[in-house]
Amino acid sequence: MAKTNKIPTLYSDFRRRLVNFLAKVFFSGRLQKNDNMRITKPETPIPIKDESQIPNSRFPVPEEESLIETQNPEILNVEYLAVKDESVNIDNRLELWKTEMERDFRQWLNELSETPSGEFTDDEPDIYSFYEELCVLRNEVRKGGRRNHDVLTRFGESLTGFQNVLVDIQSRLGQADARKREEELLANKRRFLALIDVFERMGRLKERLYTPPKKKLFKNYGNWENVWNRFREGFEITYSYLENLLKNEDITKMETLGRLFDPGQMNAVAVEYTDKHLPHMVIEEISPGFLQGERVIKLAEVKISKTQGRV
């Protein structure tokens, strides 16, 4: 592709040349041509021998009339004046047409856009310039690809860091929730242990209430027995109420008798060496244990069996 030529005044120069050319065409050549076409009055009459020599003759003239007209100069002058008037009208119309055309042409030039800032190049590029531009475009595309890759890489690193922060926050929130639940369970466990202790004491007392006192302790034993029975019934109602309260909190009594010793739920406070039971079996429950769901609230105190001669 040829190198571009910067011609800032090309448009104005072209405009000036075009105006001069059209002015020469319309106002020089045409005027000269029209002047040559005008008919002037001859100083001396021109002898006319036939109809082909008569100006603006449209129809053939008979020979007799032609002789008469040549002999009568007044008729020739009348025809000359008519032709002259027609030529004047044609000149006037031509001048008017040229004036209108000049006005339209100047108006068209004024309506044209401003001079283009342009760098004018050849229409057909050469193969070397095209290859050069193609190489430049390829390099730009490669640079843009590398920049996009760098941006995406940094964006991925930022997302990875943000994801790590979110994981850390979620872990901390989970730990905080776990600690909060542990604290709540510990506080509840303390309250439940107090209720369980009362419940155990009432259970032991309940068993004793089924054995009334001896008759010799009271003079009117019949009335005292009735009072004792009423007291026992009231105590049983209170015991049942406390038992239902623990059940509503999902606290249940642990079953230990006949089971294999479980150190996670039981505490062995006594050992009995015997061959009647399998080793490490619970043979007696000294103090019951309690569970809240799957969580141990209170360990059961039990006696377990062991085989003689073995640890």
In three state form, how does the secondary structure of the chain look?
Answer: CCCCEECCCHHHHHHHHHHHHHHHHHHHHHHHHHHHHCCCCCCCCCCCCCHHHCCCCCCCCCHHHHHHHHHCHHHHHHHHHHHHHHHHHHHHHHHHHHHHHHHHHHHHHHHCCCCCCCEECCCCCCHHHHHHHHHHHHHHHHHHHHHHHHHHHHHHHHHHHHHHHHHHHHHHHHHHHHHHHHHHHHHHHHHHHHHHHHHHHHHHHHHHHCCCCCHHHCCCHHHHHHHHHHHHHHHHHHHHHHHHHHHHCCEEECCCCCCECCCCCEEEEEEEECCCCCCCEEEEEEECCEEECCEEEECEEEEEEECCCCC
The rounded mean pLDDT for the chain is 72
Share of the chain above pLDDT 90, in %: 0
- Is the per-residue pLDDT at 136 higher than 80? yes
Dist CA 303 CA 285 (whole Å): 6
pLDDT per position as a tens digit, 199-254: 888 888 888 877 776 665 556 656 777 777 888 888 888 888 888 888 888 888 88
pLDDT per position as a tens digit, 101-132: 888 777 777 776 555 555 555 556 677 787 78
The domain limits of the chain are: 5-120, 252-311
Dist CA 6 CA 118 (whole Å): 7
Residue 100, token pair as written in the block: 């209108």
Q: For the structural domain made of 252-311, what CATH number should be given?
A: 2.30.22.10
pTM score of the predicted model: 0.41
Instruction: State the pLDDT at residue 62.
Output: 46
